[in-house]
Amino acid sequence: MSDASRRSPRRSSIAADDASAAPSTAGERLPELLRRVAQRDRRAFEQLYAATSAKLYGTVLRILKERGRADDVVQEAYVTIWQKAAQFDTGRASPIAWMVAIARHAAIDELRRQPRAPHEPEEALAHTPADEPSAREHLEHEQDAKRLHACLEALEAERRDMVRLAYLDGWSRADLATHFEQPVNTVKTWLHRALKQLKGCLAP
Amino acid sequence: MTDHDDIDMLAAEYVLGTLDAEERAEVAQRRQHDADMEARILAWEARLAPLGNEVEAIAPGPDLLERIERRIDELEATFQTKSKSEDDTHGATQVIALRRRLGFWRGCTGLATAAALILAVVMIAPFDDTPDAPPFVAVFQQDDQQPAFMLSVDLDSRRLNVRPVTAKPLPDRSYQLWIKAEALGPKPRSVGVLNDDLSLPADALSDYDSELLKRATFGISIEPPGGSPTGQPTGSAIHGYLYPTDRDAVSQHL
């Protein structure tokens, strides 16, 4: 957090809504906003929402595909963020990654409770640019993103697709099994191999 | 495959999102008291998070912030009212509420159907600025709004106090308090059957050490008069997680 932004946190532009904003601007503000939210500062909460809601909503809507359900889940996620802000630990995750994780898990829980209509797999895959991370929102440092993408490229194509469809679109093992025409257990084995390969590839 | 591998893959699939609802609930519960699991989950979140860069940011509808704030207001109003009326020891009230989907208790004998209907809300009672060890509080809640019981435990003396909030004595039924902790194995153990005035002896937890109590969850079930005939909960359970009342300690438990 720079001195300037601490003095005037509202001055910073809101990256989520403004493609021209340097991502680091919001990235640097978020820990301070979360700290204030932990002290039950409602204005800070509104600023945090303004800076992050498009990212969380995009994440959740991509999994649930329906605005009504996404509204409910994102509401639940922000209530959780309000309640748990005091537990956020900068040493363990970046603020946006922590918040996205809360929203993603809520979306996947919702989807597992009530699966949506059958998938449109072609559309889901078409959604996924291979190596064109959005310029607006960087969840992680560029370098981490490059490493992960390089490691994903090293996976067999089907396994890479499985990882993407699961993480980004919320597909279950059964969804993957249907689409890839494999038994569920085979899908599980493939996922485990892919995850282990990724872990090995990403290890320092 | 080693156990470590299994745990790591469980954490990885939890983060990836491919576990089914029941497995997810179990992992979500387990991460709260299993530091190794929590660390593995965070490591996997960090590994996979850059995938999220691909997600297109989409602005939610203009009303959503207002909805969220209204929901927060509702939750806080509920708890503050309750704390003012029910808590007789402290002034300033600080509340953290947590809706928690059932998972940990679902595996228990006899609870599979009944307990699946119930959400627990765990609440923090008043903050206390004195340097004394804070009491731990669990709230047993039967739905989103109405707390049924409040349990507070003084960890130093291991004395407990159960108070009904909205719960009333039931004709021909008893309430029974249960404890569940990793160190005690997979099944809940009975702490005791509540008296007719819905109290319990203050020393009912004196057999358990404070570390265990800190990590335990508690359930209250509705049983035949005199308590469960099987030694395990047989009726619907309402449950809560023992929760410290100072903010620093909170972060260790969620």
Q: Of residues A88 and A19, which shows the higher confidence score?
A: A88
Q: Of residues B254 and B244, which shows the higher confidence score?
A: B244
pLDDT of amino acid B175:
85
Out of A148, A170, A199, the one facing B50 most closely (by C-beta) is A148
Report the gap between the CA of A59 and the closest CA in chain B (Å).
Answer: 6
Could A199 and B12 be called an inter-chain contact, meaning their C-beta atoms sit closer than 8 Å? yes
Helix (H) or strand (E) holding B242: none
Q: Would you call A125 an interface residue with chain B, using a CB distance cutoff of 8 Å? A: no
- Residue boundaries of the structural domains of chain B: 3-54, 64-250
> Has residue B47 got a pLDDT over 70?
yes
**Mean pLDDT across the stretch B52-75?**
91
Could A140 and B53 be called an inter-chain contact, meaning their C-beta atoms sit closer than 8 Å? yes
> Has residue B169 got a pLDDT over 90?
no
Q: Would you call B51 an interface residue with chain A, using a CB distance cutoff of 8 Å? A: yes
pLDDT of amino acid A95:
92
Q: Would you call A120 an interface residue with chain B, using a CB distance cutoff of 8 Å? A: no
Average pLDDT, chain B: 70
Could B60 and A79 be called an inter-chain contact, meaning their C-beta atoms sit closer than 8 Å? no
pLDDT of amino acid B93:
24
Q: Of residues B59 and B165, which shows the higher confidence score?
A: B59
Q: Would you call A16 an interface residue with chain B, using a CB distance cutoff of 8 Å? A: yes
The structure tokens 């307990």 sit at: B115
Q: Would you call A116 an interface residue with chain B, using a CB distance cutoff of 8 Å? A: no
Q: Which of the four pLDDT bands, split at 50, 70 and 90, describes residue A202?
A: very high
Domains of chain A in sequence order: 10-117 (1.10.1740.10), 119-204 (1.10.10.10)
User: Could you read off the pLDDT of A22-52 as tens digits, one per residue?
Assistant: 344 555 689 999 999 998 899 999 999 999 9
Could B17 and A108 be called an inter-chain contact, meaning their C-beta atoms sit closer than 8 Å? yes
pLDDT of amino acid A198:
96
pLDDT of amino acid B217:
75
Tell which B residues from 74 to 133 touch A, by Cβ distance under 8 Å. Answer: 75, 94, 96-99, 101
User: Could you read off the pLDDT of A151-192 as tens digits, one per residue?
Assistant: 999 999 999 999 999 999 999 999 999 999 999 999 999 999
Q: Of residues A59 and A124, which shows the higher confidence score?
A: A59
Could A54 and B101 be called an inter-chain contact, meaning their C-beta atoms sit closer than 8 Å? no
pLDDT of amino acid A30:
92
**How many cross-chain Cβ pairs, A to B, lie less than 8 Å apart?**
177
pLDDT of amino acid B117:
28
